[in-house]
Structure 1
Amino acid sequence: MKTHFTYFLGNTTEIMFSGWPGQSLESYMLALVSVFLLSLVVEWLSHTKLIDGSTADHYVSDGLKQTLMYAIRVGLAYLVMLAVMSFNVGVLLAAISGYSVGFLIFGSRVFMRSKKIVPNMDQTDDLTPINCC
């Protein structure tokens, strides 16, 4: 398998693991869907509320759960980064699309349940969103 150092189009690529996704178009499409879903899950973890912090008695266990969620989010984000490092344009577009759709669903105001517009006044997410700027 040839290693690319520039972005290219095509379904003959290796993503994250040797021999994956293989040479067929079907396995390449499955790999693109996998990258899309991985990046969508990263956005979901960035904007979700899974820990019930209503009582102050469980702050240690809540902190450990929050740390575990953070570790999972970072691990999945690194997997997406490794996939993008295959320099395949389809993989790059799948990752960007997954992050974008995930933000649209979980982070934008399109599906907000409340009318709060001031950010970070009442943090309702378990983890702070990944900020690039």
Structure 2
Amino acid sequence: MDMPMSPPASTDMATQMNFYWGKDVIILFQGWPSNNLAMYILALAFVFMLSAATEVLSIPQVVRPSSGSRPIISLLIQASVYAVKMGLAYLVMLSVMSYNLGIFIVAVAGHGLGFLLVKIRALAAAGPANQAGSEFVDPKV
């Protein structure tokens, strides 16, 4: 039995398969940003914030149980933060799969800013005593 190598002709939605410029894009949801420049700029800001938040949440926060709580509570908090981080990461990935160059650039820039914020926080937590001796300090937070 012969199988067709292309989608049926009845589909009216084509998938973009290369990078392109322009505000006429569909990001995450059908009809968003609705071919409007202001909405496209809002979508760029949204993807930027999503990717920055993904990087900020990538540093594991150790939640220590208080004297009266159980360790399972801290594990549930850590698992919840991880699930939120992964959800944001998948939203950024799906946004980039729109193949819009503007979306790609702001996603990479957001990841860069998020990484910068994490490293600034790590250097501040390390304190000035650790920074004076070595220029290449990479403290873990």
> Structure 1: which 5+ runs fail to align?
125-133
For each residue in 1:70-113, what CA deviation from the matched residue of structure 2 results, as whole angstroms up to 9, or x when unmatched? 00000110000000000000000010010100100113578532
Q: Does 1:58 align with 2:70?
A: yes
Equivalent in the alignment of 1:113:
125
For structure 2, which runs of at least 5 residues remain unmatched after alignment? 1-12, 131-136
Q: Which runs of 4+ in 1 moved over 6 A?
A: none
For 1:100, the equivalent position in structure 2 comes to: 112
CA distance in 2: counterparts of 1:17 and 1:48, whole angstroms: 31
Q: CA deviation at 1:114?
A: 1.2
Find the counterpart in structure 2 of residue 24 from structure 1: 36
Q: How many residues align?
A: 120
Give the letter for the 2:36 counterpart.
S
Q: Structure 1 length as normaliser, TM-score?
A: 0.78
**Displacement after TM superposition at 1:44 (Å):** 1.3
- Aligned identity (percent) is 37
TM-score normalized by the length of structure 2? 0.74
The structure whose Rg is larger is 2
Q: Relative contact order (alpha carbons < 8 A, sep ≥ 6): 1 or 2 greater?
A: 1
- 1:37 maps onto 2:39 in alignment: no
Partner of 1:128: none
